[in-house]
């Protein structure tokens, strides 16, 4: 346990698929703790991490948290029983979906399954037009006599309301929510105009339903965690990470659960960007390889781009989030044979329970972590700083059947599995770079997560990128990012209008109204001071089906004119699609997005944590695909600033293992970041 000091501590805790990570800052000291995740009760994993760290609860000033609770609730269909209420004639909206196929050559393809059963979908008589005018008033008598009794009998924990064109005029949704509240005061009611005030009915309905589905789960989880913290004398600030790269106070998150779906990956991007910026790098490709997956994101000029939509288990979620691409290639990803006898990696994962075979917890399938043990890149007695010894014999045993199938040695099959994982990751990086008009050679690769630095150099070679820059304690970068992130909230609004002479003034007026509402929300959360606003306008050429977002700062918006707005849109369109339409073709505004950001007071400086005694330096062999070659091993903390070490070498740390291949050098800079370059 740390000795007592007067400084108040800042603690970030991120719940991953395999480990729950904690990073704490107390003045100039850094503490890192990793404990196995508890998937069935993630709040217990949080408390386990705090207890294992030895931190006094009453000494914590700022506790930031990110978890997979919302994601798992959707994937495992363990949210609240939810009812869906929509306009008469649209009951099957969640099941008709879109007329596309995610896998066009799959003869047995089925559309994604909604979290709501058809019997739980209800209709009401009402109709708003696209301009916000009322065609048919809400039939309140029918609501009272037909809908409310059905909802009362259903035992619903949450109710999602999505009425046609309510993004333009939410009057009927508000009234319907009031009527439901009189009969079901304890049921959570989510209205689409509050969750995603944008057009495209299916996407808006899906987002609203998912928000209602996970809200009781998130609320219950945060309440249990807050109660446990309070029972242990915690009295500091408790905040939760969102998918958009910002956090909110825990109380506010209980009404914004849909924004927490991808909080862990978002925190990692923020943490990597903030720490690597200290070394002067602003153009990055972040690469987070954890226990179950790898997440990649492009950071340009110090900012990760936001996208407006993603999907989870095939279901669309319309909310601002960091533009992160995920592939099933993590340390726990299973190595297997497909029906044709070919070697495959992921997306299935051994997870935290039982985990890789080398963990000794009953795992019987080969994983990427086992492959590293077999190839010698992970030393069994140095894993987690020696706190967890791995079973090398078990790792080799699970690769033996695969080796016999191919007529190769276990280490040869293991090495090929690592190459397959690298190929999956390279493809994900291409999705966020080359396919969006960016050359990966102009960026540095920033690996983190428990497995990222093991693969980084080889991936960089395949991409042709300039260098690898690794932050301190890379295995807990996401936990660090929780503390490095600002407080943020976004509001979107569909407002279709032509881009003409009157458009700039219209934009200033609409953004002004949105800014007033968002300012009031920040004040209600106790975050009203020093809020910065970010403005984004989605536009398209008339006749196009999809739009391109163009961002403006406050000064640009104040001075905006028609010529500048059109030029910015054409430039953004050209960067994304590598062409522009006719210079005479009209442009239309589709939607507006306003972001409010309250900067965090202090971004802690990362440095390597001293976690117990480091494994002694040694020279041991590693398999390079053809033969076993001698490799020097030493603790990463044994390197001094500006000291260089040439490969092949393995640098060991409590949170990860860093591979420096032959022909590469590694050195620290003054910001405590480790740079790998090919010589």
Task: Judge contact between 238 and 250, C-beta under 8 A.
Answer: yes
Q: How many CB atoms lie within 10 A of CB 362?
A: 11
As a whole number, mean pLDDT of residues 220-224 equals 91
Question: Is a pLDDT exceeding 50 seen at residue 2?
Answer: no
Q: Express each pLDDT in 148-190 by its tens digit.
A: 999 999 989 999 999 999 999 999 999 999 999 999 998 899 9
Q: Note the pLDDT of residue 272.
A: 94
Does the pLDDT value for residue 516 go beyond 90? yes
Q: What is the pLDDT of residue 581?
A: 66
Residue 127, pLDDT score = 96
Which residues, other chains included, contact 348 with Cβ-Cβ below 8 Å and sequence gap of 6+? 328, 333, 334, 336
Q: CA-based angle 565:569:571, to the nearest 5?
A: 120
Conformation bin of residue 542: beta by default, left when phi > 0, alpha when psi is -120 to 50: beta
Kindly state the tokens that stand for 452: 């990222």
Q: How many CA atoms lie within 13 A of 622 on its CB side?
A: 24
User: Both tokens of residue 373?
Assistant: 């043990």
The DSSP line for 364-398 is -S-BHHHHHHHHTSS-GGGGGGGTS---HHHHHHH
pLDDT tens string 598-643: 999 888 888 887 665 566 778 889 998 889 999 999 888 888 777 8
Average of pLDDT values for 417-442?
88
Q: Give residue 670's pLDDT band: very low, low, confident or very high (50, 70, 90).
A: confident
The DSSP code sequence of 285-337 is EEEEE-SS-EEEEEEETTEEPEEEEEEETTEEEEEEEE-EEEES-STTEEEEE
Give the span between the Cα atoms of 92 and 252, in whole angstroms: 32
- Alpha-carbon dihedral 482, 485, 487, 492, rounded to 10 degrees: -100
C-alpha span between 426 and 45 (Å, rounded)? 32
Q: What is the pLDDT of residue 99?
A: 85
> What residues does 383 pair with on adjacent strands?
none
What is the distance between the alpha carbons of residues 152 and 495, in angstroms, rounded to a whole number? 36
Q: Which residues have a Cβ under 8 Å from the Cβ of 126 and sit 6 or more positions away?
A: 87, 88, 136, 137, 138, 139, 163, 172
The two three-digit tokens of residue 665, written as one number: 């050098």
Is 388 a residue whose pLDDT tops 90? Answer: no
User: Residue 6: which pLDDT band, with cuts at 50, 70 and 90?
Assistant: very low
Nearest to 636, CA basis, from 454, 419, 376: 454
More confident residue, 177 or 75: 177
């Amino acid at each position: 346990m740390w000795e007592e000091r007067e400084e108040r501590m800042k603690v970030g805790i991120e719940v991953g698929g395999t480990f729950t990570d904690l990073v704490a800052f107390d003045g100039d000291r850094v503490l890192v703790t990793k404990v196995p995740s508890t998937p069935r009760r993630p709040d217990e994993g949080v408390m386990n991490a705090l207890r294992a760290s030895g931190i006094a609860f009453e000494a914590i000033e700022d506790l930031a948290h990110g978890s997979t609770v919302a994601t798992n609730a959707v994937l495992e269909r363990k949210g609240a029983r939810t009812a869906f209420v929509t306009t008469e004639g649209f009951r099957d909206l969640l099941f008709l979906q879109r007329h596309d196929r995610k896998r066009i050559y799959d003869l047995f393809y089925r559309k994604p399954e909604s979290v709501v059963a058809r019997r739980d979908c209800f209709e009401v008589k009402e109709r708003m037009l696209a301009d916000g005018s009322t065609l048919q008033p809400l039939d309140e008598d029918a609501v009272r006599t037909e809908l409310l009794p059905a909802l009362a009998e259903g035992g619903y924990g949450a109710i999602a309301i999505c009425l046609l064109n309510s993004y333009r005029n939410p009057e009927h949704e508000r009234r319907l929510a009031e009527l439901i509240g009189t009969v079901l005061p304890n049921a959570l009611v989510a209205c689409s105009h509050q969750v995603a005030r944008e057009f495209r009915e299916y996407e808006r309905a899906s987002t609203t339903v998912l928000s209602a589905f996970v809200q009781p789960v998130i609320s219950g989880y945060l309440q249990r965690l807050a109660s446990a913290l309070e029972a242990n004398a915690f009295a500091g600030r408790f905040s939760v990470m969102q998918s958009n790269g910002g956090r909110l106070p825990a109380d506010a998150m209980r009404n914004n659960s849909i924004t927490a779906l991808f909080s862990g990956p978002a925190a990692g991007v923020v943490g990597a960007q903030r720490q690597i910026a200290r070394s002067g790098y602003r153009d990055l490709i972040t690469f987070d390889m954890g226990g179950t997956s790898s997440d990649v994101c492009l950071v340009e000029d110090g900012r990760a781009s936001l996208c407006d939509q993603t999907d989870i288990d095939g279901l669309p979620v319309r909310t601002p989030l960091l533009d992160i691409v995920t592939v099933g290639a993590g340390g726990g990803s299973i190595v297997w044979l497909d029906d044709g006898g070919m070697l495959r990696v992921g997306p299935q994962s051994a997870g935290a329970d039982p985990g890789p075979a080398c963990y000794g917890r009953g795992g019987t399938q080969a994983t990427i972590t086992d492959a590293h043990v077999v190839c010698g890149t992970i030393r069994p007695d140095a894993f987690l700083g020696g706190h967890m010894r791995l079973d090398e014999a078990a790792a080799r045993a699970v690769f033996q059947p695969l080796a016999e199938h191919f007529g190769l040695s276990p280490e040869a099959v293991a090495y090929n599995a690592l190459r397959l994982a690298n190929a999956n990751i390279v493809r994900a990086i291409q999705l966020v770079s080359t396919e969006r008009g960016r050359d990966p050679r102009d960026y540095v690769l920033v690996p983190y997560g428990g497995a990222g630095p093991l693969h980084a150099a080889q991936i960089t070679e395949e991409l042709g990128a300039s260098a690898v820059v690794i932050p301190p304690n890379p295995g807990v970068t996401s936990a660090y990012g929780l503390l490095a992130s600002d407080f943020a909230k976004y509001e979107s609004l569909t407002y279709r209008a032509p881009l003409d002479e009157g458009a700039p003034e219209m934009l200033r007026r609409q953004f002004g109204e949105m800014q007033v509402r968002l300012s009031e929300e920040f004040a209600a959360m106790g975050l009203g001071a020093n809020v910065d606003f970010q403005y984004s306008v989605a536009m398209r050429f008339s006749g196009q089906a999809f739009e391109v977002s163009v961002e403006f700062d406050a000064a640009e918006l104040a001075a905006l004119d028609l010529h500048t707005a059109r030029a910015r849109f054409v430039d953004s369109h050209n960067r994304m699609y590598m062409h522009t339409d006719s210079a005479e073709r009209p442009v239309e505004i589709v939607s507006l997005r306003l972001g409010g950001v309250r900067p965090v007071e202090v971004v802690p400086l990362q440095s390597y944590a001293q976690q117990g005694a480091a494994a002694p330096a040694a020279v041991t062999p590693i398999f390079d695909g053809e033969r076993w070659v001698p490799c020097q091993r030493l603790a990463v903390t044994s390197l001094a600033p500006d000291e260089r070490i040439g490969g092949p070498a393995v640098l060991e740390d409590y949170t990860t293992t860093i591979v420096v291949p032959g022909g590469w050098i590694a050195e620290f800079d003054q910001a405590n970041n480790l740079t790998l370059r090919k010589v």
